[in-house]
Each structure stands twice: as structure tokens, then as C-alpha cells.
């Protein structure tokens, strides 16, 4: 952990680079060692749209303000909606749960199906229909989004042309 001290105005700041480590388990855990911070006050954990988690802290220690700032890439396979952070005993632990993927479809032997389990075949066809319906809905949403974007662009162009014509005739 490195520390730099600088004087800004009448306040002395100590900037440090906290030690951090990754643990790979059923989900990834980032541990940032910040013994100067014993409570959440002054700590920030932010998730950016660029796939980065930003961690910063600022706290008063006597006549000195201690602060740090670090950025870490979020693993590609992480479910960003489920990221959690917990401060305990001077360590900030950030959990990065993995995205849950749908299990691959079961390979079904048609002859065995007919003889032993007709309901299994029905369930498989229902499942595949649901997947196809979701895919169709997703492609419909994409088409609607593209049409809406095109309409918005046309409205913007028409507005600019109208403004130009209006301002040139009134000059």
C-alpha cells in the first residue's frame, strides 16, 4: 500500500493505493484491503456502463484526510445486476455472481420416448415453442426499436429544415 501526502489549502491529504486480490470460486470475489475504513461512511462503490467497478474512499484521520480511488474491470460473464459489496474488518468484499445460462436442451431418443415417456416429448415441444416465441418477441422488439429510431431521425431532420426555412424567410 503506497501513500502520497500533499497539502491542498490548509488540509493535508494522504492518497494511498490499497492492496487488492481476486478470489475465483462459484462466483468471483474482489477483496480490497482498506484498514483505515471501518465503516461505510466515505466509501463509494460504483458500476459504470463501460464494464468497470469504481471504488473510492475519503476519510478524516486526525489532521490528515486519507483517500483512494481504484477501478477494476467487471468480468464479462458477470451478472451486473447482482453485484454486491460488503465492508467487514477493514476489507471491502465485492461479489460478482456469474450469469445464469439456460441448460442445453436434452437429447431425446425418439424411439425410447414413444415407448417409455410420452409426457417428456410433450414437455420438450412446449419448451422449444416457448424459446421460439421469446426469440420472435425479441426480433419484433428490435424491429420496433429500429422503426422508432428512424422516425425520430426523420422528425429531427424535418425540424431542422423547417427552422432553417423559417429563419431564412424572416431575415
pLDDT tens, position by position, 15-55: 888 888 998 878 889 999 988 887 888 899 999 888 899 99
Query: CA distances (Å), 164 to each of 6, 14, 52, 153, in order?
Result: 54, 56, 43, 17
Q: State how far the Cα of 18 lies from the Cα of 67, in Å rounded to an integer.
A: 10
Q: State how far the Cα of 92 lies from the Cα of 85, in Å rounded to an integer.
A: 7
What are the pLDDT digits (tens) for 140-154? 777 888 888 988 899
Which pLDDT belongs to residue 120? 40
Overall domain count for the chain: 2
Shared domain for 126 and 60, answered yes or no, is no
Shared domain for 87 and 114, answered yes or no, is no
Shared domain for 12 and 76, answered yes or no, is yes
Q: Using the 3D structure, point to which of 44, 61, 96 is the last residue of a domain.
A: 96
Which pLDDT belongs to residue 45? 92
Query: CA distances (Å), 72 to each of 47, 85, 94, 95, in order?
Result: 10, 14, 11, 13
Domain, as residue range, for 56: 2-96
**Residue 163: inside a domain:** yes
Can you give the pTM of this predicted structure?
0.52
**Residue 135: inside a domain:** yes
**Residue 88: inside a domain:** yes
Pairing assessment for the beta strands 91-96 and 43-47 based on DSSP bridges = unpaired
Length of the chain: 171
Q: State how far the Cα of 146 lies from the Cα of 136, in Å rounded to an integer.
A: 15
Shared domain for 121 and 66, answered yes or no, is no
Cell numbers 424567410 correspond to 169
What are the pLDDT digits (tens) for 60-119? 877 888 889 999 999 888 888 889 999 988 899 999 998 877 666 666 655 544 444 444
Amino acid at each position: 500500500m503506497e501513500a502520497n501526502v500533499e497539502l491542498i489549502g490548509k488540509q493535508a491529504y494522504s492518497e494511498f493505493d490499497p492492496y487488492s486480490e481476486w478470489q475465483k470460486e462459484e462466483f468471483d470475489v474482489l477483496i480490497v484491503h482498506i484498514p483505515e475504513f471501518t465503516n461505510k461512511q466515505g466509501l463509494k462503490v460504483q458500476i459504470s456502463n463501460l464494464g468497470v467497478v469504481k471504488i473510492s474512499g475519503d476519510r478524516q484521520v486526525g489532521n490528515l484526510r486519507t483517500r483512494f480511488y481504484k477501478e477494476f474491470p467487471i468480468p464479462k460473464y458477470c451478472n451486473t445486476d447482482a453485484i454486491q459489496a460488503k465492508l467487514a474488518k477493514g476489507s471491502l468484499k465485492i461479489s460478482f455472481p456469474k450469469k445464469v445460462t439456460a441448460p442445453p436442451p436434452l437429447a431425446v431418443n425418439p424411439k425410447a420416448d414413444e415407448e417409455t415417456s410420452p409426457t417428456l416429448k410433450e414437455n420438450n415441444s412446449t419448451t422449444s415453442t416457448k424459446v421460439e416465441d421469446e426469440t420472435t418477441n425479441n426480433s419484433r422488439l428490435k424491429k420496433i426499436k429500429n422503426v422508432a429510431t428512424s422516425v425520430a431521425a426523420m422528425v429531427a431532420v424535418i425540424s431542422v429544415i423547417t427552422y432553417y426555412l423559417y429563419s431564412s424567410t424572416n431575415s
